Chains A and B, each alone.
Chain A
Amino acid sequence: MKNKQYKITQNQAFWPVIIFLTIILFNTIMTRGEFLSISIVDGHFYGRIIDIFRNGGKLMILAAGMTMVLATGGTDISVGSVMAISGAIACSIIRGNLLPGLGGNVAAAILLAVCAGIICGLWNGFLVAQIKIQPIVATMILLVAGRGIAQLITSGKIITINSDAYYFINGGYILGLPFPLYIVLFLVGILLLFVHRTSFGLFLESIGCNSLASKFAGIKVNRYLLAIYTISGAFASVAGLIESAGIKGADCNNAGLNIELDAILAVAIGGTNLMGGRFSIFASVIGALIVQSITTTVLALGVPAAYIRVLKALLIIVICLSQSGKFKLLFAKKNLESKKKEAVAL
């Protein structure tokens, strides 16, 4: 039994889950239970908790992809721009501005948008794996250029669309639960299966710890780097679809703006070392929920939105401290000293 307890607390997702539950609890108390209440309208569930899961969908997807990139010691700061490109392509096709031959087919629009995300990811992966550009610089290219590309696609305008099928991506419900939740379950589920049922996870950790030694052990490092940046790009394009379906159009200037930082924050909260190595996709997804729940909390409590940023900053400070060896040592020492004092007192 004790062993089991130990195993649970050692799990990387343990603390993120605790933090998330604490935030929920805090809100429930502050709002006298209103936070937890779920109402059913037209057979759909509504409520703050549902909002967190629905609005956090994009971030959960991005965090899952970002986890693997960070696990290899890299980073992908282009995801926000890839979201903009994906939304721009999908909306332009549905509107008939782009490839009018498709006749505004929603399925084709989605498919092509995801293809664009894959191409963006391949480009990032190519720069990092083959050309050996530092990941932050390599993905910065697309961070900057991506919004420009998106604006070229939309001719610099905000495109609004009218398609119930497309709206469904963000606003739809299946069995009473919002559709984005199913997208998250599907993508993260497949990813988790892939990471745990194959040796992909081991290889990624190995590459993140020591890529040269990994190569010498027979791992095709470049191929895996290419693969994870591609996955990150593909995931970002899906997040872009959800976002643009939510605003019912493509806004190239604001779609996914600064969301890459939230995604990295989510991974950091999940406890994955940003220098590469050990990682947990599940913990990152919880991390994304925490980031999202902070926003929801602030809104629920009626605090001005400006506080969201301050709260996030505080959270970052807490994470940094919890990951700092020196800080832990300080605590350990205090513990030791107090124990010593106890011993003396006895």
Chain B
Amino acid sequence: MSGQTKLLTMEGISKTFGKAVIALNNVQFELEAGEIHALLGENGAGKSTLIKVLTGVEERDEGEVFLEGKKIHPKSTNEAQQVGISTVYQEVNLCPNLSVAENIYIGRAPKTKMGAIDWAAMSRDAKELLKKFDLHLDVSKKLENYSVAIQQMVAIARASDIKAKVLILDEPTSSLSKVEVDKLFEIMRRLKAEGMGIIFVTHFLDQVYEVTDRITVLRNGTYVGTYKTAELPRMELVSKMIGKDYAVLNQSLKEGQAEKEGTRTGDELISMKGVSHQGSISGMDLSISKGEVLGLSGLLGSGRSETARVLFGIDQVNSGELYINGEKVHLKHPIDAIRKDLAFCPENRKTEGIIGDLSIRDNMALALQAKKGLFKKISKKEAQRIADEYIEKLEIKTPDADQLIKNLSGGNQQKVILARWLATNPQLLMLDEPTRGIDIGTKAEIQKIVIDLAAQGMAVLFISSELDEELRCCRRIVVLKDMEKAGEVVGDNISETAVMQIMAGGEK
């Protein structure tokens, strides 16, 4: 570790979106060679924007960037790569319909003497590279044949292979398993030893303390400070990130839960009896009561999202029966489920949730309008009232309801989608990974909202790959495995080990 040379310096960076959304305000950042530097902050803090400015995806309004003392101003990721800044984004941005090898060498494919692409060398090199990551893939197969986790690893392999001085990892671990994360950290440490500077954006504090040397915290688009990881206690870090006392939030969460336990009612709202959908769930028995938060747990592909899709009429029931409030129903389209007072926040916010080019107001009114039908138009005034109400209630950070939803940060987008469904006044709210890619402050807020809603009698189906989140919110957790219900833990029996045991197939 040299640790002395300033590899990268960013000074006075400012960026606004639209008329009034200030994403970055006079932010500074500094990276040394041979260090892993965590960039932290809650959603809307400006982490992603800062990275986008650095890599030329977004044009900065003000400020300067120096790489090894030289002023740089990349206008595209390609230019950024050429000066030595390589990025792996939160959402995999490779081409799923190209082969693994093509993805790794796209734009810099090895050439034969004739100037044609040397396919043999390309697949050989790709194999060689992936071996370093303990990935043994058929590099000629299309990338889409592999899981998101593997795609992510391929993206990281690609980024590390480009002769980069700065490697940016923007939430690379959100879809990786523990073993894969360990592998990634090993590689990060190796790259660091080779003198690369790594910027690591994540929401997992454990990982921050495991692998980083320094931490820079942003909040609401402003610079809070840079600290040595070893010298910053965890609680202090959290309060710097969210700017309010985390303990207070946590306390209110616990209180909410206590309240909920008191008022838990027994009326059955949803009942699935042996429901199957080909290729996603089979023989599912599930019952959800009013006023309960039911956790749905399991590994990726175990059927947790798929169950919600069937319940919401996106996928049809092939066999088995589905009852809502004791009445047998056939849901053929989401609108059928919405008319039965069901609501669903899907996992992929960007592709399945937000209508990017519409305003916050339109996004919020959409589901209610669909529920009311074509001819009962919600007046602009009424839509505005709904928007104002939820912007205040859910503390959505935006100057007004006219802003396009795509200009909001991920967490605020999620809150708008939540508002869209709350406006329809549902009896069952299904949340699929509602806190993915969201900082702990907003995470806690959303968890609290969920518990409050249940206390008011709403049933909530809570799907999350983060176990501790489910443990916090749910009184009952149903564990799925291989498209089937594998077991259930209730009340005091809920613990991480109990759930994991069922996931692993220990208990039936």
**Interface residues of A, Cβ cutoff 8 Å to B:** 197-200, 202-203, 205-206, 209-210, 212-220, 277-278, 329
Contact = CB atoms under 8 A, between A and B. Distances in A.
A13 B466 CA distance: 49
B362 interface: yes
Contacts of B344: 216
Which 8 pairs between the two chains have the least Cβ-Cβ distance? Answer: A218-B370, A218-B335, A218-B338, A217-B366, A209-B357, A209-B355, A217-B367, A277-B357
B335 A202 contact: no
B420 A203 contact: no
Contacts of A218: 333-335, 338, 366-367, 370-371
Contacts of A220: 333, 335
A209 B350 CA distance: 11
B352 A213 contact: yes
14 contacts: A198-B374, A199-B376, A202-B369, A203-B369, A205-B362, A206-B355, A206-B358, A209-B358, A215-B334, A216-B352, A217-B367, A217-B370, A219-B366, A220-B335
A200 B374 CA distance: 6
A89 to B, nearest CB: 31
Nearest to A206: B355
Interface of B: 59, 312, 314, 333-335, 338, 344, 346, 351-358, 362, 365-367, 369-372, 374-378, 420
Contacts of B371: 218
B48 to A, nearest CB: 20
Contact of B374 (A199, A206, A210, A214): A199
Contact of A205 (B335, B358, B375, B376): B358
Given A198-B374, A205-B357, A213-B354, 17 more contacts: A199-B377, A202-B366, A203-B370, A205-B355, A205-B362, A206-B355, A206-B366, A213-B351, A215-B334, A216-B312, A216-B314, A217-B366, A218-B333, A218-B367, A218-B370, A219-B335, A219-B366
Contacts of B420: 217
Contacts of B374: 198-200, 203
**A202, A214, A217 pick with most chain B CB within 10 angstroms:** A217
Contacts of A205: 355, 357-358, 362
Nearest to B356: A209
Nearest to B367: A217
Contacts of B357: 205, 209, 277-278
A73 to B, nearest CB: 11
Contacts of B353: 213, 216
A336 to B, nearest CB: 10
A36 to B, nearest CB: 39
A212 B352 contact: yes
**B351, B354, B358 pick with most chain A CB within 10 angstroms:** B358
Given A197-B377, A199-B378, A216-B344, A210 B370 contact: no
Nearest to A210: B355
Contacts of B369: 199, 202-203
Contacts of B378: 199
A214 B354 CA distance: 9
A146 B344 CA distance: 44
Contacts of B370: 203, 217-219
Contacts of A200: 374
A206 B376 CA distance: 17
B172 to A, nearest CB: 26
Nearest to B59: A329
B366 A198 contact: no
B338 A210 contact: no
B355 A213 contact: yes
B351 A198 contact: no
B377 A212 contact: no
A119 B374 CA distance: 23
Contacts of A215: 314, 333-334
Nearest to A201: B377
B377 A210 contact: no
